[in-house]
Structure 1
Amino acid sequence: MRKDDVELYQYTPETGPSILFTILFGLAGITFVFLLVHYSIKSKSKVASLVSSQSTLRCYDMLKLAGAYIPFIFGCFVEFVGFAFRCESSRYTTMLSPYIIQTIFLLVSPTLYAASIYMIFGRMATLLFAEKLMIMPAKFNTAIFVIGDIGSLLLQAAGGAMMSDKSIASSGSHLVTIGLFIQIAFFGVFILNEFLFLFRINRKPTSVLMRCGSWKSLNVVLLVNSFLILIRSIVRAVEFLQDYDGEIASHEWFLYVFDALPMFLLVLSFNVAFPLNNIFRIQEESIQMQLFARYDDDVYPDIDEISIEPDLVSKSE
């Protein structure tokens, strides 16, 4: 391992908290994988029975629906690896490699959670026939937010890597800061989108929205977790604006209180809420309402007003 004469920390890092969060994120990630597999298989069987007599319904392929949670799982893994290397870095404070890895991984992990939040919200709105209630066209809504998220991730990762070289450390810090502000900007717009969505729902709910109640609790989870990521990103942006000698960079507790803890609460909320409500359940309710509409167009008049995208059509199995 290469050593560097630069002081990597402005404090003496504690190993205990890093070990704790390594275990917590590892367990949470494994638990969520189990939940995702279990409920996706269970839902696939139920959806197959619902659509057996219909050739076209607005619904997602099960892999595409489950795919919305894949970035979240990678986020848990990245947090796990990041804190594992922070344990190593806390023990050997002059070793550069574990310091770089933990810095980059802990920086970029929230962008992975954000990607899942964007995709879940987009799929939920589509299944509820509520695309017109969003701030931008549904066709581009998820893609725009995810592209912004990827751009933020790449800038933060590149900047974190550059900070390991003294000659370009300042440029790396600027890149990370830019990446964080991009993340803050996109999340600010996304949260505005969610509030606008709720406001318009109250004014003009679709037939599906009035008969599918599960989306409300899922939307609350997405909204709360969006705020957790936003607060975390603001604090990290301030940290890099203050530079290496700033108040935040000089005290380790900021990392755990404003980064590790909010991100673990996000992961925990996904795990706790998933058995109670998830995107699979919303799809099942949506399909049931669409089938109900086949028998009573007066009750469900808006189903025929919205075109069905080819990639959303589920063929009978």
Structure 2
Amino acid sequence: MAGEHGIYKYEPNKIACIAAAGLFGASALIHLFQMIRSKAWFYTSFCVGAIMMTAGYVFRYISANDPSSLGPYIGQSLCIILPPSLYAATIYMIYGRLVLFVDAADASVIRPTRVTKIFVIGDVFGFLLQSSGGGMMAQSGMADMGQKIMLIGLFVQLLFLGFFLFISLIFWKRMNKSTRHYTVPQYGKHGWKALLKMVVCAAVIIIARCVFRVIEFAQGHDGYLVSHEIYMYIFDSAPMFLVQAMMHFVYAAKVFGIGNFAKLGKSESVIELNQRGYV
């Protein structure tokens, strides 16, 4: 039910909405430009997530001007909660291509050809649960059920992210013990190690953000976190912008070499490509 500040438990900060929309929007445009220029289409879900995040804070600004209106509130809620799942999907695809790029499929707990399928399917499942739960939470009669579905979706996302972090760290450990990493070509400013570190770091940040959201929703509609806007910006907005920003500087397409990553997406190893004269 609407209170003193409409649907919110506080008066939304309009300046913060504008600042967040500007930062996420600028980052989204850069990511879109980078993807089109390099034809790295596996970044599509990431770009969609960045655009959604921007739209989320635009909706939040509109909602702040009319805090009793349900439409903008649902829009800001879904567009801010869901993008991390899209970021994670891109991270999974980068890892699969990275394993093929260094020609070390045997060092990965899961075959690189299966990583994308397994984790993206799990990610989509979590995404759908969160989106349906988020929509239900905005309706007073279905708020409790929506909250439970949202929590299940977040736990699914955490489960897959946690397992992904585990296999990424195992792969990192195995490659550090192998001499093969000395023979991996470096096409740009950053090599495969920097890309793997970035992927691991991004996964850790998204996991931390999911933990925050789990605690927030577990506290209920009148919980401390949901009643104080500042925590959303500290533990959700800032970490997600950090993920977007860090992925500008270590760009997978440049690490793999422009043109090579398309072939990696077809699940062929670098050695096989060399033998066929593609790279």
Q: Provide the alpha-carbon RMSD of the alignment.
A: 2.6
Matched AA of 2:249: V
| Aligned mates of 1:315, 1:112 — CA distance in 2 | 34
In structure 1, what is the equivalent of residue 73 of structure 2? 99
- The equivalent position to 1:219 in structure 2, one of 196, 199, 216, is 196
Q: 1:36 Cα deviation (Å)?
A: 2.6
Equivalent residue for 2:183, pick from 197, 210, 222: 210
**Closer, same or farther: CA 284–74 of 1 in aligned 2, 3 Å:** closer
Partner of residue 229, structure 2: 252
TM-superposed deviation, 1:197: 0.4
Q: Deviations over 1:223-278 (max 9, x none)?
A: 1111110100100011111111111101101110001100111111112333xxx3
CA gap 1:200/1:168 in 2 versus in 1, 3 angstroms? same
1:201 aligns with 2:175: yes
TM-score using structure 1 length: 0.78
Instruction: Check 1:68–1:85 CA distance in 2 against 1; reply closer, same or farther (3 A cut).
Output: same
State the distance in 1 between where 2:275 and 2:59 align: 44
Tell me the SS of whatever aligns to 2:82.
Answer: helix
Any gaps of 5 or more consecutive residues in structure 1? 41-62, 288-301
Q: Does the Cα contact within 8 Å between 1:111 and 1:153 map onto a contact in 2?
A: yes
- Residue pair 2:70, 2:138 contacting (<8 A) in 1 also: yes
Aligned partner of 2:266 in structure 1 is none
Mapped partners of 1:229, 1:314: distance in 2:
39
Q: For the structure 1 residues 89 and 145, does the alpha-carbon distance in structure 2 shift closer, same or farther, using more than 3 Å as the test? A: same
Matched, 1:125 2:99: yes
Q: CA deviation at 1:21?
A: 0.8
Using a 3 Å threshold, how does the CA distance of structure 1 residues 201 and 137 change in structure 2: closer, same or farther?
A: same
Greater Cα offset, 212-221 or 20-29: 212-221
Is 1:21 the equivalent of 2:20? yes
Matched, 1:191 2:139: no
SS in structure 2 of the partner of residue 32 of structure 1: helix
| Alignment pair present for 1:166 and 2:166 | no
1:64-84 Cα offsets, whole Å, 9 max, x none, are xx1221111001100011010
* Aligned partner of residue 68 in structure 1, secondary structure: helix
Tell me, in whole angstroms, the C-alpha distance in 2 between the residues paired with 1:79 and 1:286. 30
Give 1:105 shift: 1.1
In the alignment, the residues of structure 2 paired with residue 13 and residue 136 of structure 1 have an alpha-carbon distance, to the nearest angstrom, of: 44
Equivalent residue for 2:58, pick from 77, 84, 90: 84
Q: Structure 1 residue 25: deviation in Å?
A: 0.9
Cα distance change on mapping 1:160 and 1:314 into 2, 3 Å? farther
User: Corresponding residue for 1:134?
Assistant: 108
Aligned counterparts of 2:217 and 2:101: Cα–Cα separation in 1: 40
Report whether the alignment pairs 1:33 with 2:10.
Answer: no
Structure with greater contact order relative to length (CA < 8 Å, sep ≥ 6) = 1
Alignment-derived partner of residue 241 in structure 1: 218
| Residue aligned with 1:102, SS | helix
1:270 correspondence with 2:270: no
Offset, 1:15: 0.6
Larger Rg: 1
Looking at structure 2, the residues matched to 98 and 113 of structure 1 have their Cα atoms a distance apart, in angstroms, of 23
Asked whether the equivalents of residues 92 and 119 of structure 2 are also in contact (C-alpha less than 8 Å), the reply is yes
In the TM superposition, residue 23 of structure 1 has moved relative to its aligned partner by 0.8
Return 5+ residue gaps in structure 2 as ranges.
Answer: 262-268
1:314–1:98 distance in 2 versus 1, CA, 3 Å = farther
